[in-house]
Structure 1
């Protein structure tokens, strides 16, 4: 039986000894505020999964959603400004 080379290449492409590059780490660092805002929104939504949201929950979700939109806008503006330069 002969090994399938494409499968072997796919497995070794994701080997644990491959580290992210500095550019990838910088991109993650720039996106981190948006990622954290998404996590906050998910936390606010998860709280209301087992019960009907009360007024405080609704405010928390709206605030988290506004923060997500603001962080995404900031990230998009930063990316657009970086691409234009």
Structure 2
């Protein structure tokens, strides 16, 4: 009888030993302002889960949403600078 060896385990184990590349770390650094803005929005929303939001809570959530949108816009604009052509 032939035995069947599990080849997937060796592939998976080898792929977990690598560190992120410099390009991946640069991408994370570029997205960090957006990540932090999304964390702030989540914090503001979590604070109002078990109670009725006050006016201050609503302002905090609105500010956090605007910051997320601004960071997304900024990230999109930075990503678009590297491309040539496209719509104006």
TM-score class, shorter-chain normalisation, is 0.7 to 0.9
Provide the secondary structure at the position in 1 that maps to 2:83: helix
Aligned residue in 2 for 1:10: 12
Q: Give the equivalent residue in structure 1 for 2:21.
A: 21
- Matches of 2:33 and 2:84, distance apart in 1: 22
How much does 1:4 deviate?
Answer: 1.9
Q: Distance in 1 between matches of 2:13 and 2:50?
A: 40
Any unmatched runs of 5+ in structure 1?
Answer: none
Aligned alpha-carbon RMSD (Å): 1.6
Q: Show the counterpart of 2:54.
A: 54
Shift of 1:84: 2.8
Residues of 1 paired with 2:13 and 2:49: CA distance? 38
Deviation (angstroms), 1:52? 1.0
Q: Distance in 2 between matches of 1:62 and 1:14?
A: 40
Structure number with larger C-alpha Rg: 2
Aligned residue-pair number:
83
Moved over 6 A (4+): none
CA shift at 1:83, angstroms? 2.7
Alpha-carbon separation, structure 1, partners of 2:14 and 2:53? 47
Question: Structure 2 vs 1, CA of residues 83 and 4 (structure 1 numbering), >3 Å: closer, same or farther?
Answer: farther
Structure 2 residue runs without a partner (length 5+): none
